[in-house]
Amino acid sequence: MKYWVVLACMLTACQLAVVKKPVTPIQERDPLAPLSNQELAAMPESRRLFEASHSFYQEVLIPAGFSGGMLVAYRGKVVFEAYAGREKINQGDAMDSSSALHLASVSKTFTAMAVLKLQEQGLLDIMSPAFRYLPEFPYPEVRVIDLLNHRSGIPNYIHFMESLGWDTQRVLTNRDLLYFIVQHRDRIPIQRANKHFEYSNTNYALLALIIEHASGIGYAAYLNEHFFRPLGMHSTYVFQMDKSDQSIPSFDHRGQQESFTWLDAVYGDKNIYSTPRDLYRWDRALSERKLFLHSTLELAYKGYSFERPGVRNYGLGWRLYDFPNGSRLIFHNGWWHGNNIVFGRLPKDSATVIVLGNRYTTRIYEARKLYAGILGLNMPLEDDE
């Protein structure tokens, strides 16, 4: 009996010895949470950028009737984030961090990087002629890279389709555009490939078809599988005309809703919807090399057009400013219907400026003043759509 009592006591003691106090889990800081006032006070540079961003938001955007969202980050931390307006001008839900707006030409950054991802996967070679992936394509001298850097010489479809006979009562698709180019190849005023830079939405509408051919799946499916889902970009999607009622509309400067037109089904050059937070996830993935090889990013951010002297250039899906002091601005703006978009990245300072609006105002592009402030420049930066 004494044995069992002693044994029971020993077992109880052992059990008591291994019982530990519950450990409070470490609360990791949400990388998308803006810095607190205390954190800003301890970081003078971040504080200055917060004050500049707040002034821009309150003194430039809000007086212009801004509707949308703005996010500014520095050294990998969000220093400013704000939303204004409603998803349906003066009615409906208030804009917030999940309100996805049309990115317009900022969509080109995803299209270009999808092409480069396919090259990493061995499914595509950007130095190959485009007809290798689009057998119907009638210009054998145009390479995939010429489409990426806007040196194909093919003009913007928005400017020639109607004049060459497209019925604007019929919604245009990417495949329609390709067939129209084939049918009217002798009437389209194409320039010699790789002669000079000419920004053209046609290039990126064709690149979307090349992505589909090389990957074997749809454009939206490829972006979802390789970019949106892995990065947690849950509010980001490719627009579909038959689901247009599910997307937040855009408005002109008077607050009148913009109508969809025959041009609204084409993707690759536009038609990605996203939020400031999701775009920041995209920025972080690129900056931290989560998705791409270093060599791939070097290709994307290299300038390809040097016909005109100066600091401005275009890479593969990215506009560039390369300054004499070694600083860089990698960015893309956008405009479509009532949407105006700014997406600027300053790698040397690990700074990001994002402004998405769905009520037309060019004041959004004045965010370039924030770039200049971060870079310490006295020179003005020009607007680029």
Question: DSSP of 124-179, one letter per residue?
Answer: --TTSBGGGT-TT---TT-BHHHHHTT-S-PPPHHHHTTTTT--TTS---HHHHHH
> pLDDT at residue 12 above 50?
no
pLDDT tens, position by position, 280-294: 999 999 999 999 999
Domains defined for the chain, CATH in brackets: 37-375 (3.40.710.10)
pLDDT band at 78 (very low <50, low <70, confident <90, very high): very high
CA-CA distance, 290 to 301, in Å (whole number)?
16
| Mean pLDDT of the 86-100 span | 85
pLDDT band at 164 (very low <50, low <70, confident <90, very high): very high
Contact between residue 231 and residue 281 where contact means Cβ atoms under 8 Å apart:
yes
CA-CA distance, 68 to 94, in Å (whole number)?
10
| Mean pLDDT of the 61-86 span | 95
pLDDT attached to residue 93:
83
Helix H or strand E segment including 77: strand 77-84
pLDDT attached to residue 27:
40
Q: Across-strand partners of 329? A: 321
CA 140 from centroid of its chain's CA atoms: 30
Distances from the Cα of 135 to the Cα of 132, 194, 206, angstroms: 6, 21, 12
CA-CA distance, 163 to 190, in Å (whole number)?
15
pLDDT tens, position by position, 312-362: 999 999 999 998 888 899 999 999 999 999 999 999 889 999 999 999 999
Contact between residue 208 and residue 133 where contact means Cβ atoms under 8 Å apart:
no
> CA triplet 20, 24, 25: central angle to 5 degrees?
120
| Mean pLDDT of the 368-373 span | 89
pLDDT attached to residue 352:
96
Average pLDDT, the chain: 89
Distances from the Cα of 222 to the Cα of 41, 124, 161, 366, 379, angstroms: 43, 14, 28, 34, 40
Q: Across-strand partners of 353? A: 72, 344
Q: What is the DSSP string of 224-280?
A: IIIIITTTT-TT-EE--GGGGGGSPP-B-TTSPBPPP-TTTT--SSS-EEE-HHHHH
Which spans in the chain are helix H?
2-18, 37-41, 44-56, 107-120, 144-148, 157-160, 174-183, 201-215, 219-223, 276-287, 294-300, 368-375
The structure's pTM equals 0.90
pLDDT tens, position by position, 197-225: 999 999 999 999 999 999 999 999 999 99
| Mean pLDDT of the 219-241 span | 97
| Mean pLDDT of the 158-170 span | 95
73 DSSP 8-state letter = E
Q: Which residues of 97-115 are buried (b: 16+ CB within 10 A; e: fewer)?
A: eebbbbbbbbbbbbbbbbb
